[in-house]
Amino acid sequence: MKHRFLPTGLAGVLSCFAVFFQAVAQTPPAGSYSSSALLSTRLKTLTSRYGALTNLQSIGKSREGKDVWLLTVGRGAAAQKPAIAIVAGVQGAHLAGTELAVQLAEKLLAASGQDSVARLLDSKTFYIFPSVNPDAQEQFVAKPRFERTGNGADTDDDRDGRLNEDLFEDLNKDGLITQIRVEDPTGTFISSKDDPRVLVKADPAKSETGRYLVISEGTDNDKDGAFNEDGAGGVALDKNFTFDYPFFTPGSGEMPVSEPENRALLDFLYKAPNVYAVFTFGPYNNLSEAPKFDRTKTARRIITGILEKDAPVGDQVSKLYNSQTALKDAPPMPPTKGNFAQTAYYHYGRFSFSTPGWWTPKSPASADTTKGKAAAKPSDNDDVKFLKWADANNVREVFVNWQPIEHPDFPGRKAEVGGMAPFAKLNPPVSFLNEIADKHLKFMTAFVRQMPVIDVVNLRTESLSGGLTRVTAQVINRGLLPTGSEIGDRVRFVPKMKVELRTGNGQAVVSGRKRILRSPMAAGESMEVTFLVSGTGRATLEAGNAMTGLKSIDITLK
Amino acid sequence: MKKIFFLFLATLPFFVFAQQKPAQNDDLTGLRAVGSPANPKVPMRWNHYNDYAGIMKFCQDMAKAHPNLVKLESMGKTFQGRDLWVLVVSDFKTGNADRKPGFYIDGNIHSNELQGSEIAMYTAWYLAENFGTIEFTTQLLKDKVFYIAPSINLDAREDFIKNPNNPNSPRSGLMPFDDDGDGEIDEDKYDDLDGDGNIVLMRRKTPLGRMKQDPNDPTRMIPAKADEPGEYELLGYEGIDNDGDGQVNEDVAGRYDPNRDWGWGWQPDYIQGGALFYPGTLPETQAIKKYIIGHPNIAGAQSYHNYGGMMLRGPGAEEDQQYYNPSDIAVYDVIGRTGEKIIPGYNYYVIYKDLYTVYGGEIDWLALGRGVFTFSNELMSSYLLFRQKPGESNRFQNDEFNQFGKYLLFDDAYVAWKPFKHPQYGDIEIGGPKKNYIRNHPGFMLEEDAHRNMSFTLFHAHQTPKLDVQAITTKPLGNGLTEVTATIVNQRVIPTHSSHDIRFKIERPDYITLKGATPLAAMIVENADLNITKEQKTNPATIEVPNIPGMGYVKVRWIVKGSGGKYTVSVDSRKGGVVEKTL
């Protein structure tokens, strides 16, 4: 699928959007998401405007040759400071995450003049990967638009030896790939009672019998009985990571981390010891409600549940998220197999948080209780809820009303095309994200302020006879979060908490380990260290690691 | 009279042979020994270990000497930039080599496990040098194509050979890493204290130690008895605390396992020691993976390791047992059990059950990720020394390597204990087995074990599918229609698709195409006698079958218009090759 489509007349729309974000020169048109070209432009605009605080680099190319961008935000040597990684657009259909990540950067930089933000940018690094799967996201502006999760790899999705032999067809020529319903006695779908536009499975327990067959919009090009089962759009990157990898399922690729985009991301992260935590914008939510500790999942050889000491940290951050964003009523969005956010925790060993950022807000309860009507029970169907919200908020073009068509595979039968517009459910009009981005910025900065702070206190030097000095001190984590995750303590590529006495010329540590490597320190935890040192002059006691930052104090040996 | 008759029969083949192939032994000052090439175009001695230059020269010489049998390719580059050479061996004048059932062989994924390379090289050499002489291998090169990669860890092999090492170092590759988490990289390697090229053991005489010298063999340290005082303590491999952190040799070159870097069942380092960031972190793995995916005709594979005398099949982890179902295991059993006969002292084992758990190993990826029947041999075993299984007459002694070193290697295998002044440990002694002993074959044993292991692998390769269109029959159906039925047989044990492959549709189906007529309908015949068939509704010219079973067949049928046509049936199988027959 090589169709390209760039929105025309961008400039005009841009200028009116700039009213919302005065700090930013170029922003996307309201109601639309950025093409990869526009995303690049926005990022470059930021770096030219905030040269001292940003660095833009391409960490690799997608299968289709698009840049996978990393925007580094912060002042000074980025690699030398504790960092958080903000990763978006791994799940290609989630455009809102990319938009939020970019807006987060824009808003953070716009506020860089404020003292508190400046201090944050001085002491921490923000690694922002706004779009890890640009190939898939480009399908939003390409024709026909379909909800794509795969990158540009050629994949034989139905594993029949033929490549891309059954693509979608835009049968009603509206530029969107939606669905087809065909009236058929073997169909298992019926119209929802709550919203007749929505199709639901017939429930025999409620004496319902099916009326419609439902397929994707297209024809069975290869006449194998399956519709559009092998189209363009290769490996779904959010199924291609190492944790709980779903082998041989459509979109998961031939093996984990088979793609240049996720290799590039992991190569960067694994070689960045300063990353303390990872935030993902994507359709998995462990922030609204933190995962619970479950011993049965951690006692086995392969660990599949959050570790005991990490669970309360998850709780703490979840509370912070809910209080700072004031976002409520999140639907459960469990992780999918092989996703990035779980890999970031279980394998990369960092605290890893994920949120879609936006979800269908709860509609107010029906006020129509006149004439003695009982309040209608709100539907628990996601589509119904979404459409209700869209109607109430005047959000248009989210649903294609069913319209009859002649379907060549069902001659003489009643077939209709229609259904949810691609990308619509996960991605509200961009104008809805401004406030969401503000809330997430508030949360992220609050999180960063809770990160560990290493201090060395209560230093005592006792001169003993014979040129010996006993050095005693306490190392403390004054932050509100631990110096690292419990899982990270098992991961070889996560730096250990380190305390080291750096001796000068003619000095030697006579008793005590010169360099202590230890497991993470909880918030408020302290440890006493003691060294017996021979020699005189200046020595340095240093504590911390790349994730926490280093604290060093000078000691004078008499 | 009878005796003379038998004698005549027995010598007959030799007369025929002599007439067909005169002057075979002209270059020999004597008589060709059976089974060995008499005057190879590439002269080789199989009693030493080759460095990178040696491997490269061998590969180039082979390609030059046998242009119709050997082609040299590079799968890609190693971390340090060496070429991952692969010898493509086939009879390039017969058929299209790219479409023949393929067999992949590699060695030396663990760099200290040298001899896999020589065995792989021996295999290429043997096949090419005997082409035209030995009927079996000649036919094998007509039918099959071999992809032989002598070493897939060339950087660390070079390090093992050229630099001071012990028998176990490096097993890894040479990508630098901070092993001890102190932020420094490879800062405390082994140290060749006496400069002899071997990293051997350090011992210190002390009444506090619990070890003593074996009274029967001074090269050997044994534990003191429970009720007697010891004389020595062992201090590990030769080295000093280079970085002054109170530990010796704690951050050496490379501490990862290239055989835990593969894309099936991969687990991180805290579960599977030696794993890196994700499967395929290493450039070598990426290159080999690409090469194997680019050769979907590979139907069998062999990886050579050491040590222990084993022919191993997967799974590497108990969790994957469910993916080895009985029909695939039956195939492995045929090959593995034959192997136990071919290589005395080697056992046919299952990795997770009989060895240890391996997540993300190469052969699991080949077997379960690609559907390729794969073995991994652990070369060399103590059995080969005195042809005794441990636990027979020498039970609890465990000194066969020392004895062998004494009686057959004349003390060449050990560095005798000698005093050394150590900066941290003071007066110590250093000594012990040389790096090329224990795990790697002594020179005189290498060729025999190479031949035996090759024979096992050739048996395996021989069992990759061999397809034939056995019969094409026709039957008039009236109304101007004719039924054409073809029987496709697989004359070998390995099916075109393992049952794991069929379950997950790893490889596409086999295509059976009728040419010379326009079929109206096509079907797979499930039972010819009872006329039970399953119709294929689309594209009747090419019938897709999920598998052509080992030592089995499929029957397919077309209904065509007209009669008496010249029908050609062609079979196109990724792992089974292409065959065609015309009625």
pLDDT in tens, A149-185: 999 999 988 888 888 889 999 999 999 999 999 999 9
Give the closest residue to A400 by CA, choosing from A142, A171, A166, A141: A171
Examine the pLDDT at A375 and tell me if it is beyond 70: no
Interior CA angle at B145 toward B141 and B147, to 5°?
125
Tell me which of B322 and B23 has the higher pLDDT: B322
Both A16 and A115 in a single domain?
yes
Tell me which of A440 and B32 has the higher pLDDT: A440
Minimal C-alpha gap between B248 and chain A (Å): 14
Chain A residues in contact with B185 by the CB 8 A cut-off are: none
CB contact under 8 A, B182 and A498: yes
pLDDT in tens, B501-540: 999 999 999 999 999 999 999 999 999 999 999 999 999 9
Find all residues with CB under 8 Å of B476, minimum gap 6, and list them. B482, B483, B563
Both A552 and A538 in a single domain?
yes
| Distances from the Cα of A87 to the Cα of A138, A355, A448, B339, angstroms | 17, 11, 16, 52
Q: Pick left, alpha or beta for residue A326 (phi over 0 → left; psi -120 to 50 → alpha; otherwise beta).
A: left
| Coil, strand or helix at B8 | helix
Give the closest residue to B263 by CA, choosing from B185, B359, B198: B359
Both A216 and A267 in a single domain?
no
E strands within A314-371? 351-355
Give residue B397's pLDDT band: very low, low, confident or very high (50, 70, 90).
Answer: low
Q: At A33, give phi and psi (nearest 5°).
A: -105, 160
B194-209 in b/e burial notation, b at 16+ Cβ within 10 A? beeebbbbbbbeeeeb
Minimal C-alpha gap between A520 and chain B (Å): 13
Termini Cα distance of chain B? 49
| Coil, strand or helix at A295 | helix
Which of A154, A266, A347 to mutate to test binding with chain B, by most B CBs within 10 Å of its CB?
A347
Residue positions of B annotated with a catalytic role = 378
CB contact under 8 A, A256 and B267: no
CB contact under 8 A, A255 and B263: yes
pLDDT in tens, A479-507: 999 999 999 999 999 999 999 999 998 99
Cβ–Cβ contacts within 10 Å for residue B403, how many? Answer: 16
**Sheet with B414-422, edge to edge strand ranges:** B217-223, B211-214, B232-237, B201-205, B426-433, B414-422
Across residues B15-30, what is the average pLDDT?
A: 52
ipTM computed for the complex: 0.91
Residues 217-256 of A with CB under 8 A from B: 222-224, 241-242, 245, 247-248, 254-256
State whether residue A206 sits within 8 Å of chain B by CB: no
Both A30 and A136 in a single domain?
yes
Kind plus residue range of the DSSP H or E element containing B174: none
Across residues B374-378, what is the average pLDDT?
A: 98
Give residue B186's pLDDT band: very low, low, confident or very high (50, 70, 90).
Answer: confident
Find all residues with CB under 8 Å of A409, minimum gap 6, and list them. A219, A220, A227
A111 is a domain residue: yes
Task: Name the CA radius of gyration of chain B, rounded.
Answer: 28
Predicted local confidence at residue B564, as pLDDT = 75
State whether residue B365 sits within 8 Å of chain A by CB: yes
State whether residue A300 sits within 8 Å of chain B by CB: no
Between the CA atoms of B345, B347, B351 and B355, what dihedral angle is there, to the nearest 10 degrees? -50
Examine the pLDDT at B20 and tell me if it is beyond 80: no
Instruction: Please state the domain extents for chain B.
Output: 2-75+83-158+258-380+442-462, 177-252+391-433, 467-582
State whether residue B495 sits within 8 Å of chain A by CB: no
Q: At B511, give phi and psi (nearest 5°).
A: -105, 130
Predicted local confidence at residue B26, as pLDDT = 55
Q: At A366, give phi and psi (nearest 5°).
A: -60, 130
Structure tokens at B532: 């039970």
Give residue B180's pLDDT band: very low, low, confident or very high (50, 70, 90).
Answer: confident
Tell me which of B566 and B303 has the higher pLDDT: B303
Across residues B215-222, what is the average pLDDT?
A: 86
CB contact under 8 A, B266 and A513: no
Give the one of B183, B277, B509 whose C-beta lies nearest to A161's C-beta: B509
Give the closest residue to A5 by CA, choosing from A101, A103, A131, A146: A146
Predicted local confidence at residue B17, as pLDDT = 44
Both A474 and A443 in a single domain?
no
A462-471, B9-18, B34-43, B47-56: least confident range = B9-18
Domain, as residue range, for A277 = 10-140+234-360+428-450
Residues 407-426 of B with CB under 8 A from A: none
Distance CA B436, CA B260 (A): 24
Across residues A8-37, what is the average pLDDT?
A: 50
A83 is a domain residue: yes
Number of domains in chain A: 3
Question: What is the distance of C-alpha A512 from the center of its chain?
Answer: 44
* CB distance A98 to A83 below 8 Å: no
CB contact under 8 A, B268 and A347: yes
Cβ–Cβ contacts within 10 Å for residue B401, how many? Answer: 18
A78 is a domain residue: yes
Both A196 and A56 in a single domain?
no
Both A469 and A506 in a single domain?
yes
* CB distance B24 to B134 below 8 Å: no
pLDDT in tens, B46-93: 999 999 999 999 999 999 999 999 999 999 999 999 999 999 999 999
> Which residue of chain B comes nearest to A347, CA vs CA?
B268
Between the CA atoms of B501, B502, B506 and B512, what dihedral angle is there, to the nearest 10 degrees? 120
A60-84 in b/e burial notation, b at 16+ Cβ within 10 A? bebbbebbbbbbbbbbeebeebbbb
State whether residue A154 sits within 8 Å of chain B by CB: no
Which of A245, A254, A255 to mutate to test binding with chain B, by most B CBs within 10 Å of its CB?
A255
Give residue A558's pLDDT band: very low, low, confident or very high (50, 70, 90).
Answer: confident
Examine the pLDDT at A369 and tell me if it is beyond 60: no
Structure tokens at B446: 């290498």
Both A432 and A407 in a single domain?
no
Domain CATH code at residue A528: 2.60.40.10
State whether residue B180 sits within 8 Å of chain A by CB: yes
Give residue A376's pLDDT band: very low, low, confident or very high (50, 70, 90).
Answer: low
Predicted local confidence at residue A191, as pLDDT = 96
Owner of token pair 């990178």: B52
Give the one of A156, A223, A302 whose C-beta lies nearest to B538's C-beta: A223
Across residues B460-488, what is the average pLDDT?
A: 96
Across residues B326-345, what is the average pLDDT?
A: 98
Q: At A118, give phi and psi (nearest 5°).
A: -60, -40
CB contact under 8 A, B278 and A263: yes
Q: At A500, give phi and psi (nearest 5°).
A: -140, 135
Determine whether domain B467-582 maps to CATH 2.60.40.10.
Answer: yes
State whether residue B268 sits within 8 Å of chain A by CB: yes
* CB distance B247 to B266 below 8 Å: no
Both A219 and A239 in a single domain?
no
Minimal C-alpha gap between A245 and chain B (Å): 8
Distance CA A453, CA B104 (A): 54
Predicted local confidence at residue B393, as pLDDT = 55
CB contact under 8 A, A302 and B319: yes
Minimal C-alpha gap between A194 and chain B (Å): 40
Examine the pLDDT at B562 and tell me if it is beyond 80: yes
Examine the pLDDT at A12 and tell me if it is beyond 50: no
A263-272, B17-26, B311-320: least confident range = B17-26
* CB distance B365 to B351 below 8 Å: no
A375 is a domain residue: no
Superfamily of domain B2-75+83-158+258-380+442-462: Zn peptidases (3.40.630.10)
| Distances from the Cα of A167 to the Cα of A179, A213, A548, angstroms | 13, 19, 50
Structure tokens at B384: 């080969």
Minimal C-alpha gap between A491 and chain B (Å): 6
Owner of token pair 């590497």: B316
Predicted local confidence at residue B132, as pLDDT = 95
A56 is a domain residue: yes
Predicted local confidence at residue B25, as pLDDT = 54
Minimal C-alpha gap between B171 and chain A (Å): 18
Cβ–Cβ contacts within 10 Å for residue B137, how many? Answer: 18
Q: Check if B2-75+83-158+258-380+442-462 and B467-582 are the same fold.
A: no
Both A76 and A56 in a single domain?
yes
Question: What is the distance of C-alpha A312 from the center of its chain?
Answer: 21
Distance CA A102, CA A98 (A): 6
State whether residue B369 sits within 8 Å of chain A by CB: yes
**Sheet with B467-478, edge to edge strand ranges:** B467-478, B481-490, B552-561, B519-527, B532-536
Give residue B254's pLDDT band: very low, low, confident or very high (50, 70, 90).
Answer: confident
CB contact under 8 A, A517 and B180: yes
Minimal C-alpha gap between A405 and chain B (Å): 25
> Which residue of chain A comes nearest to B244, CA vs CA?
A514
Give residue A237's pLDDT band: very low, low, confident or very high (50, 70, 90).
Answer: very high
Chain A residues in contact with B508 by the CB 8 A cut-off are: 156, 159-162
| Distances from the Cα of A55 to the Cα of A51, A80, A145, B147, B186, angstroms | 7, 15, 32, 46, 31
Distance CA B396, CA B262 (A): 38
Predicted local confidence at residue A370, as pLDDT = 56
Across residues A97-120, what is the average pLDDT?
A: 97
Examine the pLDDT at B5 and tell me if it is beyond 80: no
Predicted local confidence at residue A304, as pLDDT = 97
Both A102 and A210 in a single domain?
no
* CB distance B441 to B47 below 8 Å: no
CB contact under 8 A, A245 and B505: no
Between the CA atoms of A366, A370, A371 and A373, what dihedral angle is there, to the nearest 10 degrees? 20
Distance CA B514, CA B522 (A): 10
Chain B residues in contact with A546 by the CB 8 A cut-off are: 183
| Distances from the Cα of B194 to the Cα of B188, B201, B236, angstroms | 17, 12, 15
Q: At what angle do helices A95-110 and A36-49 cross, to 10 degrees?
A: 10
Give the closest residue to B246 by CA, choosing from B180, B200, B186, B185: B180
> Which residue of chain A comes nearest to B178, CA vs CA?
A493
Find all residues with CB under 8 Å of B199, minimum gap 6, and list them. B164, B165, B166, B169, B190, B192, B237, B238, B239, B435
Chain B residues in contact with A258 by the CB 8 A cut-off are: 263, 280
State whether residue B264 sits within 8 Å of chain A by CB: yes
Which of A224, A492, A501, A542 to mutate to test binding with chain B, by most B CBs within 10 Å of its CB?
A492
Minimal C-alpha gap between B503 and chain A (Å): 10
Chain A residues in contact with B278 by the CB 8 A cut-off are: 241-242, 256-257, 263, 266, 347
Predicted local confidence at residue A417, as pLDDT = 97
Both A177 and A299 in a single domain?
no
How does the average pLDDT of chain A come out, rounded? Answer: 91
pLDDT in tens, A255-287: 999 999 999 999 999 999 999 999 999 999 999
Between the CA atoms of A227, A229, A231 and A234, what dihedral angle is there, to the nearest 10 degrees? 160
A92 is a domain residue: yes
Give residue A27's pLDDT band: very low, low, confident or very high (50, 70, 90).
Answer: very low
pLDDT in tens, A389-444: 999 999 999 999 999 999 999 999 999 999 999 999 999 999 999 999 999 999 99
User: What single letter denotes the amino acid at residue A202?
Assistant: A
State whether residue A376 sits within 8 Å of chain B by CB: no
A96 is a domain residue: yes
pLDDT in tens, B417-454: 999 999 999 999 999 999 999 999 999 999 999 999 99
Across residues A534-551, what is the average pLDDT?
A: 96
Chain B residues in contact with A156 by the CB 8 A cut-off are: 508
A368 is a domain residue: no
Give residue B177's pLDDT band: very low, low, confident or very high (50, 70, 90).
Answer: confident
> Which residue of chain B comes nearest to A490, CA vs CA?
B270
| Distances from the Cα of B139 to the Cα of B36, B120, B133, B420, B462, angstroms | 17, 20, 11, 60, 10
